[in-house]
Each structure stands twice: as C-alpha cells, then as structure tokens.
Amino acid sequence: MARRGRVPGQLLVAASILPSLALFGQIEDRSARGQLQASAALATLGYVATIYVLPTFTPFLARSGLTGKDLCKKGTASAEKEIPEGTGVIAGTMFLICVVILQLFYGRDSSDKMVDYLSALLSICFMTFLGFTDDVLDLPWRYKLLLPTVATLPLLCAYDGSTSIVVPRPLDHLLVAVGAGGGGDSVLTLVGRAVSSVFSITVPGKLGGVVLLDLGMAYMVYMGLLAVFCTNAVNIYAGINGLEAGQSFVVACAILAHNMHELRRGRDTGNHTFSAMLLLPFIGTTLGLLRYNWYPARAFVGDTYCYFAGMTFAVVGIHGHFSKTLILMFLPQVTNFLLSVPQLFKVLPCPRHRLPRMDTEKGLLVPSTMPYKSEFPVWQFLRSGPDGEVINLTLINLVLHVVGPLRERSLCTLLLALQAASCGFGFVIRYYFAGLVYGST
C-alpha cells in the first residue's frame, strides 16, 4: 500500500523533469551543453550526498532541540512523535558545495560572470544562514520580512544589467503619440512628459516601435521586493508533509524548462546557462530532501529551506533577466498570498497555525476555521463546519473546502499537480500571449 501511495508522486517527478531532458537534446551551443552536463553530474552527486548525509546529521539537530510535532496529525498516534526540524540546512549546504565546485566550469574567462556567480552564491548562503537562525530563534514576522532584504544586498550591489522595462503595447499610447508634423514620428504625450520628469523614456523614431522606461533605482527596489516575495511565498504556502520541497521542485523544473527552451532558440544564452547551472544542483538536493519530507515525513525542512529555495529562485530570476516569467511560475503562491492578506495584516483573526485539521474519525484532513461570521456572499461560500465559521484563508484550506476532505498524501499530490498545471499555464501566457502585450516573445 505504501509503495502504491508513492506512485503519483513519482509520476509527478518524472513529468516535471522530462520536458527539460527533451529540450536539452535540441540545444546546439556546445559550450552551454558542456556546462549543463557538468552541472547535471553535480546535481546527481548532490542528490546522493543529501540522501546519505541527512540521516547522519538529523540526530544532531534533535539533540539540540530542533524538533517539532506534526500538527496535521493531532489526535492520532503519530501526533506526539518528535521529528527533526531545520533539515533544509543540510540540503542548502550540499547545494552550496555543488555550486562552489561548479566555478571550475563557469565564468573562468570573464570577471563579470564571476562577479555575478559569487554574488548569487553569497546571497543564497546568507539567506540559508538567516533561515537557520530563524529556525533556532523563532523570529517574529516583522524580521522575516527584513531578512530577505538584507540577504539580497550582495545580489543588488553586483547587478549591472539593464534597469529598463518594455512598456506594454496597450499602454505605450499614454506615453508617446504621433508628432504634429506627421510622418509617423513619435513624441511624448502630456503623461509621457510627466513620467519622464522622474524616469528616463526611450522613444522610438517611428510610432509603433518599442518604448523603454528606465526605472533606475526603482527597478532595484522591485528586485529587492521580488526576493522578499519569493522567500515568504514559499514559507506561508506550507504545513503539510512534502509541500515546501515539492512545490520548490516543481517550480525549479518549470524554470529549468524555460531556460532550456530559450537556449534551444539561441536567445540570451549566457544568462539562461547561468540560471540552469544553478537550478540543476538545487533540483538534485531538493529531490534528496523530499525523500525524507514526503508523507509520512521523517524530517521537517524548516524555515531554512523555504528561505534557501526562495532566494535561489530570486537569484536566477534576477541574474537570468526573466523576473516576469518567474512570477508566472508562482501563481499558486501569489493566490495563497492574496488569500492570506486579510489575516496576515490582522484585518481578520489570525491564529499562529492555519493548517488543516485532522478529522480523527475518518483519518482525513478538513479545513481549519476562524471565529468570524458575515452575511456577505463570499463569506457564505467560505463557511465550514456546524458552527458556520469561515475557513482560514489559505489555498490549502480552500482546496479542501472545494474538493472535500482528503488524506494528507493525496492533498499534497493534488497541490503539486495544481502547481505543475499553473506552471504550464504560465508558459502559455509567456509564449502565446506576451506577443499581444509586448509585440514579441
């Protein structure tokens, strides 16, 4: 029975990896292929090292008091079992070792590439350390918003790429228009002149060209906020066995497929090779960690892993210059964050844990609720239980509310399938609808 229960998860892993393997075979750049093969070999080494090192070091975590109880099993025989926590530090350490070794294959002929590489390594290392600090000290939420900002500083200080964005076609008429002399020459509109007093605007010679808006320092602020979002989005979309590492694995595979597709097209090969080389060891170490975090969990990943994973995504999105595409891979996390806003900002009651609760009679997870009642239609839809209370506002509880009670393993598999489908939808937006908005893909 346990083996059959793992089959959906194994199929999901295979389905996540296969697109990248298929696209890799179509990459013509021999240099990129060689670097990716070296990274894939180290990813395999990272996977093997993680599955062997983790059970060796978890007793040290338990001896130091870094253990926790599975709150989703409250009321069952497993509820009082102490499980090692913070094991994300082991996966993070294995990843960093792999990435340090990768310096032998990347950026040796370019000081600029090495600066990018080392700044990425420093930010991820810094965030992993701060995440482990959070696991040990249990920092308040206000510090959890500050930590990613501090860890992003090496990345932002080393960033020397463009700070310009392409203005979407439906909006460029607000900034530029046909000049009075005719001939198709473009000039700034009244709104465009107002915007140009703050940001630099590059106007095409003829109307219909690409309009660039240089955000300057505002773009750096945006990248810092992106790092804060990525780290905390993974952290709040969590709580059931396998979800933190599982969602990160699926997202990483989706981003890797995007990198492979762009390399196949021969576009921006340097940045996408850099991104893929970082993601492959991340996928390997995450898969090793997932073996122990999958239901029933023998290890909890802790905030360390959530911060480590989120910063890795922020690094590849920023240095790879595809931050908008990165956000498209985070649609469930964005949805979960938007759902959570009323509780996170104390507009509605927010308990310390908003996890699903166990129905001990049926052995199934059901949505947890909060003491809030309202006659508005949306709250009527979110009512649950005999007392008519509203479910805690998380995507996990919403899925249970819509689908019905599920076993924890089935719920995690469903959420990861939703993540994979959302990433697929993100690809559709990126490659089929981006042309309508920006004029190219």
Q: How far apart are CA 10 and CA 13, in angstroms?
A: 5
Residues 6+ apart with CB under 8 A from 90: 50, 53, 54, 57, 58, 289
Residues 6+ apart with CB under 8 A from 175: 167, 188, 189, 191, 192, 195, 201, 203, 211, 213
- Distances from the Cα of 415 to the Cα of 25, 396, 410, angstroms: 30, 8, 9
- How does strand 364-366 pair with strand 176-178? unpaired
- The burial class, CB within 10 Å (0-12 / 13-18 / 19+), for 312 is buried
Among 415, 290, 422, 419, CA closest to 365: 415
Provide the residue ranges of all domains of the chain, joining segments of one domain with +: 2-158+217-322, 164-214
Among 441, 398, 360, CA closest to 77: 360
C-alpha angle 317-323-324 in degrees, rounded to nearest 5: 150
pLDDT 10s per residue in the chain (441 long)?
345 445 566 777 777 788 888 888 888 888 889 889 999 999 999 999 999 999 999 999 988 888 988 888 887 777 778 999 999 999 999 999 999 998 877 666 667 778 888 899 999 999 999 999 998 988 887 777 787 888 888 888 888 788 888 888 888 888 888 665 555 567 888 888 898 888 888 877 655 567 888 998 999 999 999 999 999 899 889 989 999 999 999 999 999 999 999 999 988 888 899 999 999 999 999 999 999 999 989 999 999 999 999 999 999 999 898 998 999 999 999 999 999 988 888 888 878 788 999 988 888 999 998 877 666 666 677 777 666 688 889 999 999 999 999 999 999 999 999 999 999 999 999 888 877 777 666
Residue 375: the pLDDT is 63
Residue pair 214/208 in contact by the 8 Å Cβ criterion: no
Residue 25: the pLDDT is 86
- Distances from the Cα of 165 to the Cα of 275, 304, 323, angstroms: 20, 33, 11
Global pTM reads 0.92
**How far is C-alpha 238 from the geometric centre of its chain's CA atoms?**
12
Cα torsion angle, 116, 117, 122, 124, sign: positive
Residue 1: the pLDDT is 37
- How does DSSP classify residue 376? S
Residue 260: the pLDDT is 95
Residue pair 257/15 in contact by the 8 Å Cβ criterion: no
- 3-class secondary-structure state, position 297: coil
Residue pair 281/39 in contact by the 8 Å Cβ criterion: yes
Among 202, 295, 122, 228, CA closest to 114: 122
Strands annotated E in 291-355: none
